[in-house]
């Protein structure tokens, strides 16, 4: 065996390592999902968007809610009896409104109880999905986020404030068009949120919560804590099952070349 042969063997093994690691993680995730389903007597759907590595070359990829996600979630819901409890584990920065609304409406229309678990964060479209659930379970420091529409790099609510505060003659056509689209987008998202909430809350409460979340009360990345979400009127508890957190351990972020920035011994510690 020559040095060239050793080099190619090393190259092939290195190239296949991310794929093999991913396959192992997928099997472990399936096993953990099965354990949670048996314990809770429910259908469990994990909608988790970690930054994961490309399967062959190991490049990092960012994940968001997209049409493929909504197709998969709707398929899983269709395969589940309408009386069977549904548990959705959400970990997402948000994504496409169309996909999030499809998932949220499918959740709203179920007869069986629906619980959304947010172990770390469910922002934007993730929050919209959570609004459709009967109950939201968060950790003490988990967060939701506002659902106000964004048009490219601009918040729709801020575009509306621009045309309210400046004379029309001083505003360019593109900004006026964006503001018009933004007004429609806010109205649409607000109406959708109100529709989802009104299924389980009094109409006045649904309208108030939708108005607060959809109209630019905060910046789009504002972290809405469990306590704030509960004070807002959402059905939130902080009784997070340990096996949901264990499932999240099976969605690791890709390691940086220089190693992680946070290190600790991964064992529980209690005061003696």
Q: For residue 259, count other CB atoms closer than 10 A to its CB.
A: 7
Query: What is the rounded distance in angstroms from the CA atom of residue 226 to the CA atom of residue 231?
Result: 9
Number of domains in the chain: 1
Higher pLDDT, 51 or 94: 94
Scan for tokens 């790099």, then name that residue: 153
Helix residue ranges per DSSP H, the chain:
3-40, 67-78, 97-108, 125-131, 156-165, 173-198, 203-214, 226-232, 242-248
Is 10 inside any structural domain?
no
Q: Pairing mode, if any, of strands 114-118 and 121-122?
A: unpaired
CB distance 19 to 53 below 8 Å: no
Strand-pair partners of 87: 44, 115
Is 227 inside any structural domain?
yes
Range of the domain at 150: 44-52+59-248
Is 214 inside any structural domain?
yes
**CA-only gyration radius of the chain, Å:** 22
Is 63 inside any structural domain?
yes
Is 168 inside any structural domain?
yes
pLDDT one-digit tens code per residue, 113-170: 999 999 999 999 999 999 999 999 999 999 999 999 999 889 999 999 999 999 988 9
Is 267 inside any structural domain?
no
Is 13 inside any structural domain?
no
Is 11 inside any structural domain?
no
pLDDT one-digit tens code per residue, 53-108: 444 444 445 578 999 999 999 999 999 999 999 999 999 999 999 999 999 999 99
3-state secondary structure (DSSP) of residue 29: helix
Task: Look at residues 161, 108, 150 and name the one whose alpha carbon lies nearest to residue 125.
Answer: 150
CATH of the domain at 64: 3.90.226.10
């Amino acid at each position: 065996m020559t040095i060239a042969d050793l080099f190619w063997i090393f190259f092939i093994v290195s190239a296949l390592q991310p794929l093999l690691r991913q396959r192992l993680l997928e099997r472990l995730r399936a096993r953990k999902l099965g354990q949670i389903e048996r314990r809770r007597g429910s259908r469990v759907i994990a909608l988790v968007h970690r930054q994961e590595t490309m399967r062959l070359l190991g490049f990092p990829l960012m994940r968001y809610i997209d049409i493929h996600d909504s197709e998969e979630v709707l398929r899983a819901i269709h395969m589940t009896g309408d009386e069977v409890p549904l548990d959705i584990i959400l970990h997402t920065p948000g994504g496409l409104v169309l996909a999030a609304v499809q998932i949220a409406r499918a959740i709203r229309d179920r007869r069986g109880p629906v619980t959304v678990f947010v172990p770390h964060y469910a922002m934007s479209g993730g929050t919209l999905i959570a609004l459709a659930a009967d109950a939201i379970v968060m950790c003490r420091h988990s967060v939701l986020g506002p659902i106000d529409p964004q048009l490219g790099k601009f918040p729709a609510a801020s575009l509306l404030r621009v045309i309210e505060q400046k004379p029309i003659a001083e505003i360019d056509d593109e900004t006026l068009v964006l503001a018009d689209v933004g007004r429609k987008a806010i109205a649409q998202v607000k109406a959708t949120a109100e529709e989802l909430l009104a299924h389980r809350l009094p109409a006045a409460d649904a309208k108030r919560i939708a108005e607060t979340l959809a109209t630019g009360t905060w910046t789009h990345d504002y972290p809405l804590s469990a306590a704030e979400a509960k004070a807002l009127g959402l059905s939130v508890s902080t009784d997070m099952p340990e096996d949901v957190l264990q499932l999240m351990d099976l969605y690791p972020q890709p390691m940086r070349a220089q190693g992680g920035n946070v290190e600790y011994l991964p064992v529980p510690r209690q005061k003696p």
